[in-house]
């Protein structure tokens, strides 16, 4: 990959903290984004909310309400990330799929314009609908802004043939096709997200965002993590 390409970064809430927002984690992510921004890469981000709440963690609350709470949590993360980036002198456009006073509504045209003006774009609120993951939101937003590379930030080196925590002999893939990921039901992204990426010929790169410098290496074209091609 060459710098200047347009990327969609799927950033989990856990990347910003295990429970709530960890200032050190927030600063680490913002610092990494600042580095790739200087490389003139066009970066849009879909941020999750798992550091605050996941619908599955609230079995006593109706799924629709739990998912709504999760979408609100993504806005909190988006606001924190925007603040941290702006402190570094980086212009940021925050858009949300759910109406909030502190963010613009989702507008792919405005997002593409902001990216062309070297702003970082943050998408919060998921898709604005319950029963839909932020993986799917990331695939949709990547399609809307014309990004052909979707970077999925995780806490593991890439995609494995099985859960490496449960199966020490699990194989780490360096390259896959989207068809293989779907057929083998590998833990890349959910099926809907994979299907959207396949239909729009979007390549997915799964990598460990907690290994500092990985994001920069990917933007510079280094073979970090697992690449999943259309």
User: Could you tell me which residue, 141 or 163, shows the higher pLDDT?
Assistant: 141
Does this model's pTM top 0.75? yes
User: Could you tell me where the beta strands, DSSP code E, fall in 87-189?
Assistant: 92-96, 104-105, 120-124, 149-154, 159-160, 172-173, 175-177
pLDDT of residue 187: 83
pLDDT, one tens digit per residue, over 167-226 is 889 999 999 999 999 999 998 999 999 999 999 999 999 999 999 899 999 999 999 999
List Cβ<8 Å contacts ≥24 apart for 108-113.
Answer: 108/141, 108/144, 108/145, 111/44, 111/141, 111/144, 111/145, 112/145, 112/146
Q: Does domain 6-229 have CATH number 3.40.1160.10?
A: yes
pLDDT, one tens digit per residue, over 114-135 is 999 999 999 999 999 999 999 9
pLDDT, one tens digit per residue, over 145-155 is 999 999 999 99
pLDDT of residue 56: 57
pLDDT of residue 3: 36
Locate all alpha helices (DSSP H) within 39-187, ordered by sequence. Answer: 63-86, 108-116, 134-145, 178-183
Which residue do the tokens 């293989």 mark?
Answer: 180
pLDDT over 80 at 6, yes or no: yes
DSSP state of 220: T
pLDDT of residue 87: 97
pLDDT, one tens digit per residue, over 71-110 is 999 999 999 999 999 999 999 999 999 999 999 999 999 9
Give CA torsion, residues 219, 220, 226, 228, to 10 deg.
Answer: 60
């Amino acid at each position: 990959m060459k710098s200047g390409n347009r990327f969609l970064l799927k950033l989990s809430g856990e990347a910003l903290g295990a429970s709530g927002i960890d200032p050190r984690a927030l600063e680490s992510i913002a610092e990494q984004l600042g580095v790739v921004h200087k490389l003139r890469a066009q970066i849009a981000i879909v941020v999750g909310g798992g550091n605050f709440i996941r619908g599955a963690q609230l079995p006593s609350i109706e799924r629709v309400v739990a998912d709504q709470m999760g979408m609100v949590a993504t806005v909190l993360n988006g606001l924190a990330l925007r603040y941290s980036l702006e402190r570094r002198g980086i212009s940021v456009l925050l858009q949300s799929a759910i109406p909030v006073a502190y963010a613009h509504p989702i507008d792919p045209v405005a997002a593409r314009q902001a990216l062309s003006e070297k702003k970082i774009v943050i998408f919060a609120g998921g898709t604005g609908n319950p029963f839909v993951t932020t993986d799917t939101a990331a695939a949709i937003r990547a399609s809307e802004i014309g990004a052909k590379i979707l970077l999925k930030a995780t806490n593991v080196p890439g995609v494995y043939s099985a859960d490496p925590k449960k199966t020490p002999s699990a194989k780490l893939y360096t390259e896959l096709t989207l068809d293989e990921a779907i057929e083998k039901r590998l833990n890349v992204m959910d099926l809907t997200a994979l299907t959207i990426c396949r239909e729009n010929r979007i390549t997915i790169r799964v990598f460990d965002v907690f290994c500092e410098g990985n994001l920069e290496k990917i933007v510079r074209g280094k073979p970090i993590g697992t690449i999943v091609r259309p």
